[in-house]
Amino acid sequence: MVIVEAAARSGALSTANWAGDMYREVLAVPGPVTSSRSVGPHDLIRNRRAELVRDADDVREALGPIQPELPREPVPEHPTDALGPETLRVHEALPARGALGVDELSRAALVSLTDCLLALQELEDRGMASYGADGRWSVRLRR
């Protein structure tokens, strides 16, 4: 962070002290000794809590090269794109209308009962399936 102006008691000075405590780079631009708004940067520099900088080149030199942003994980185009194979089979086995019990879903999806339950939990967590009061599972329609 760069402090350009800060009175002896200011939010900018508090933030600079906090940043230093968090091992963040603190830079300060000295100002006129006659200005009350130069007290903060001068104190930071004098107490070695900030590095003195004069201009943007000094700031770039102090901070070093800016790292490029890391590539982000691609966002699935469709919600089902993020599902594993067993979960996808269970999702596809859910009827468009009505509901099925776990045993029926397990058979229809050709997965074990345990894998079916795990898949249904994932689908419920993702908002793609819902468990009814009758103990059967159905597709949760997106709105």
Q: What is the pLDDT of residues 74-100, one digit of tens each?
A: 776 788 888 999 999 999 999 988 999
Same domain (yes/no): 51, 93: no
Same domain (yes/no): 86, 134: yes
Alpha helices in the chain (DSSP H): 11-21, 39-46, 56-63, 85-93, 102-109, 113-125
- The DSSP-derived string for 46-80 is HTTSSEE--SHHHHHHHH-SPPPPPPPPPPPSSGG
Q: How many domains does the chain have?
A: 2
Domain contains 73 = no
Q: Taking residues 49-54, report their average pLDDT.
A: 95
Domain contains 54 = yes
Q: Any idea which of 21-30, 77-86, 88-97, 101-110 has the lowest mean pLDDT?
A: 77-86
Question: Is it the case that residue 143 has pLDDT exceeding 60?
Answer: no
Same domain (yes/no): 84, 110: yes
Same domain (yes/no): 101, 132: yes
CA 89 remoteness from chain centre: 30
Same domain (yes/no): 89, 135: yes
Domain contains 74 = no
d(CA 30, CA 33): 8
Domain contains 113 = yes
Domain contains 72 = no
d(CA 140, CA 127): 7
Same domain (yes/no): 7, 55: yes
What is the residue range of 20's domain?
2-63
Q: What is the pLDDT of residue 142?
A: 59
Show the CA angle centred on residue 77, arms to residues 76 and 80, nearest 5°.
70
Same domain (yes/no): 108, 57: no
Same domain (yes/no): 98, 122: yes
If one compares 69 and 128, the residue with the highest pLDDT of the two is 128
Q: What is the pTM of this model?
A: 0.48
Q: Any idea which of 52-61, 71-80, 95-104 has the lowest mean pLDDT?
A: 71-80
